[in-house]
Amino acid sequence: MAMAIYSVYLPPESGNEASDRTVFLGDGPALLALIVPIVWLLWHRLWLEAAFYVLIMVAFGVSTQFGYPEIGAFLSFLPGLYLMLEGRELVRCRYERSGWHFDGVVEAGDIEAAELRYFSNFVEAATVGHPKTENQPKSPVFSNHIRRPAPIGLFPE
């Protein structure tokens, strides 16, 4: 199973604490932005970017009307390609402009695993100092406790 990277954003009203409105944004290309770019932009509430996209497409449409159909057809593909490659970054910028706080990244196989991994850190932090009983589940396999290899070199830390 391929692992994906998810950026975690906290809502402005929560300060720096996780809540039920915490957003996990996946990293990687947005294929739907290539296929239906205007719908993708409106779905993610990127109003200004959608207006700019429409203006660009109108300009390319005008260029095809004035005797350059090959250039206009080729250029009309480029904004969708740009949105496919950089669309997730546009969504991240929208959250930051709206006051959301970046809280870190989580690596997981899917969104549910990313949420479980992120919120399990809070459960572990809340139970620190409490003795474990027989009924409590053990730490998940993807715990944050990573063993570091022994240092190699002249100046180990």
What domain range is 92 assigned to?
Answer: 4-117
Residue 130: band (very low, low, confident or very high) from pLDDT cuts 50, 70, 90: low
The whole-number pLDDT of residue 91 equals: 95
Distance CA 46, CA 98 (A): 12
State yes or no: pLDDT of 67 exceeds 70. Answer: yes
Tokens read off for 138: 């053990």
Asked if residue 43 is part of any domain, the answer here is: yes
Asked if residue 129 is part of any domain, the answer here is: no
Tokens read off for 154: 């002249």
Asked if residue 128 is part of any domain, the answer here is: no
Alpha-carbon Rg for the chain in angstroms:
22
Asked if residue 145 is part of any domain, the answer here is: no
| pTM (global) more than 0.85 | no
CB 44 within 8 A of CB 22: no
* Tokens 């109108």, located at residue: 58
State yes or no: pLDDT of 107 exceeds 80. Answer: yes
Asked if residue 20 is part of any domain, the answer here is: yes
What's the domain count of the chain?
A: 1
